[in-house]
Amino acid sequence: MDVDNESKRKVVNRLKRANGQLAAVIAAVEGDAHCRDVVQQLSAVSKALDRAGFLVISTALRECLEDPDAEDGTNPEELEKLFLSLA
C-alpha cells in the first residue's frame, strides 16, 4: 500500500498508542488489578486497533478512487472484504 506520509504517521501513532495500552493491560493483569480496570484497558486497546485498521482501509479506498487503474493488486471488492473483517 502506497500511503501518504500524513496517513502513515496517523496509523503509526494509533498503533503506538495501542501498544502502550496493551502494556498497561499486561501490567494490570500481572499486578492483580481489579477486573474493571483490566477490561477498561482492553477496551481502549481494541478501539485503538480498530481505528488504526479503519484508517488503513479508508486510505486505501481513497487511493483506489483516485487511481482506479493502479496495478497494486487492490480492488474495491477486496477493500470491501477487508473493511467488513474489521466490523
What's the pLDDT tens digit per position in 6-51? 888 999 999 999 999 999 999 999 999 999 999 999 999 999 999 8
- In sequence order, the 6+-apart residues with CB closer than 8 A to the CB of 49 are 14, 15, 18
Rounded to two decimals, the pTM is: 0.73
- What CATH number should be reported for the domain holding residue 66? 1.20.58.1000
- Dihedral sign for Cα 65, 77, 48, 20, please: negative
- Domain that residue 74 falls in: 5-86
Distance, in Å, from the CA atom of 76 to the CA atom of 51, rounded to the nearest integer, reads 20
Count the domains in the chain. Answer: 1
CA distance 37 to 29: 9
**pLDDT at 1 (0 to 100):** 47
